Structure formats: C-alpha cells, structure tokens
Structure 1
Amino acid sequence: MTRFDAATDTERRQLFAEAITAHRKRDSEFLTIEPDELPPESTEELTPWIQFSDTTVSMDCTDDELDRLKGLLDSYPEFRAESLESPEEAEGTHAEITARSDANRLAMFIDEAFQTVYGYESTYKAWVVAI
C-alpha cells in the first residue's frame, strides 16, 4: 500500500480492498477505517469508525444507524449480524458482523456502510488509520 486515504467511490473501495489484503497478509490484529470528518448533519461528537478483523466487521451505531445497518445487511446475504451489544452505560449498540467474503466485497460493504448507515455523501474522504 502506498496511500492511506481516498475520496471517491472507486478510490475508497480500492483503498479498502488493498488494506484488507494487507491486513490478511500481515495477519494483523485488526484494520480500522475512519472518515476524515463527522457526517453532514451529525449530532454526534465522535467520528464513526469501522474495524475489520479476520472475518468480523465491527462498528458502533445509534438506534437509527442500527436500523439502517440491518437494512444494508439485507443486500449482503453472505454477511450476518453475530452480536449486537447495547451496554447500559453506553448510548447505542456495538455491532459485530460475520463477513466471509473477498476483499472487494468487504470494501464495497464498508463504503456503503459509511454512506448508508452513517449518512456520508459519496464524496467523503476516508483514511485507513490502522492495519
């Protein structure tokens, strides 16, 4: 990998796929992807992130975001929500999704999750912040 950020659908998906491939080759603990800024019209204070490890995609969601995530999963029948944890002391849900798929399909899912679940526009910039 020679770059760590991208701002178009094609570039982001290529970046994510390359990062997933590097993560797998390095047998690293996890891969983390973050957008450059908060989503438009966000009331949250923290930038969303998505992590990937082995065959698991992890992300934190508000109740509305969780509903949108469940809708997105309908388009990915090979992915399934394995764990949805909502600790009493936290606002929201930590979702763990089993995703046994190739790097390109995972990259597509992650890109669509940022747009569909978190409300980013198609021109958002994302960073691979940890591999």
Structure 2
Amino acid sequence: MTRFDAADTGARCKLFAEAVLAHRNRGSQFLTIEVDAEDAPGIDPDADDPEPVPWIQFADETFNLDCSDAELDRLKGLLSEFPECRIEKIERPDEAEGANVRITARSDANRLGQFADRALQATYELDDDYRAWVTQV
C-alpha cells in the first residue's frame, strides 16, 4: 500500500480492498479504517475531548464496528445488498451506549472493500465525499 486515505467512492473502495489484501498478505491481527474527523457528523475535532470517529475493523473474515440503535438499523438494511455478509454477533456492554456488531464477510478483497465503504457511509450517514483513513494494517 502506498496511500492511506481516500475521499471518493472509487478511491475508497480501492483503498479498502488494498488494505484487505495487505492485511491478508502480512497476516496482521486486523486492519482499521477510520472516518476523517472533519467528515464525521456530530464530531467537533477541535473540542477538548472530541467524540471518537466512526471506524470499522476487519480480521479473520469478520468486520467489527460500534453503533447506536439507529445506526444498527441502517446497517441491517444494508445487508440485503451484500448476501455474503451476515451479522454474527451483537454485544451491548453495560458500560457503553449502543452495540458492538460483528459481521461475517466471506468474499474477495474488492467486494469486502465495497462493503466497508457502504457500511461506513450508510451506518453513519456520511456524505458521498467523506474521507477515510486506513490507520492500521
């Protein structure tokens, strides 16, 4: 991988697919994609204690992300477009608001990249030109 961020659909999908391949080739523990704080709704990056940005991780054919109940509903609605992806587990820790969702995803890197992009965009209601960063591979 030679670049780590992208801000349009085609470039993000390509970046995410390359990250999946790099993750698999390196045998790394997981890969992490984060939305740029400037593009995340409700996030003030200049705040003294800003909210965490939306993120998604991938490892062992599983995506992992945190979301509110409304975000979870949007994520569930997206799954009909990706039959190779299904919710494996939803955890609702007592000390956290919302849920941690694990989605089993068995497909090629390009399709996984498409899913990561659509999952971030649909779940967190991001604009088409949101910027995302691959922060860990």
The TM-score, its normalising length taken from structure 1, stands at: 0.95
**1:30 pairs with 2:36:** no
Structure 2 residue runs without a partner (length 5+): 45-49
Tell me the residue number matched to 2:15. 15
Tell me the residue number matched to 2:41. 40
Tell me the residue number matched to 1:84. 90
The TM-score, its normalising length taken from structure 2, stands at: 0.91
Tell me the residue number matched to 1:129. 135
Structural mapping, 1:45-60, within 5 Å: 45-60=51-66
Identity score, percent: 56
Could you report, residue by residue, the CA deviation over 1:48-107 in whole angstroms, capped at 9, with x for unpaired residues?
A: 110000200000010000000110112111111000000111100000000001111111
SS at 1:129 equivalent: strand
User: Bigger shift: 63-72 or 33-42?
Assistant: 33-42
User: Bigger shift: 105-114 or 41-50?
Assistant: 41-50
What is the deviation of 1:40? 2.9
**1:109 pairs with 2:109:** no
Question: Match for 1:6: what amino acid?
Answer: A
Contact 2:19-2:31 within 8 A present in 1 as well: yes
Paired with 1:58 and 1:31, the residues of 2 have a C-alpha distance of 10
Structure 1 residue runs without a partner (length 5+): none
Could you report, residue by residue, the CA deviation over 1:5-29 in whole angstroms, capped at 9, with x for unpaired residues?
A: 1111111111000010000000100
Query: CA RMSD, aligned part only?
Result: 1.5
Paired with 2:43 and 2:120, the residues of 1 have a C-alpha distance of 13
SS at 1:59 equivalent: strand
Q: How many residues align?
A: 131
From 54, 77, 81, the counterpart of 1:71: 77
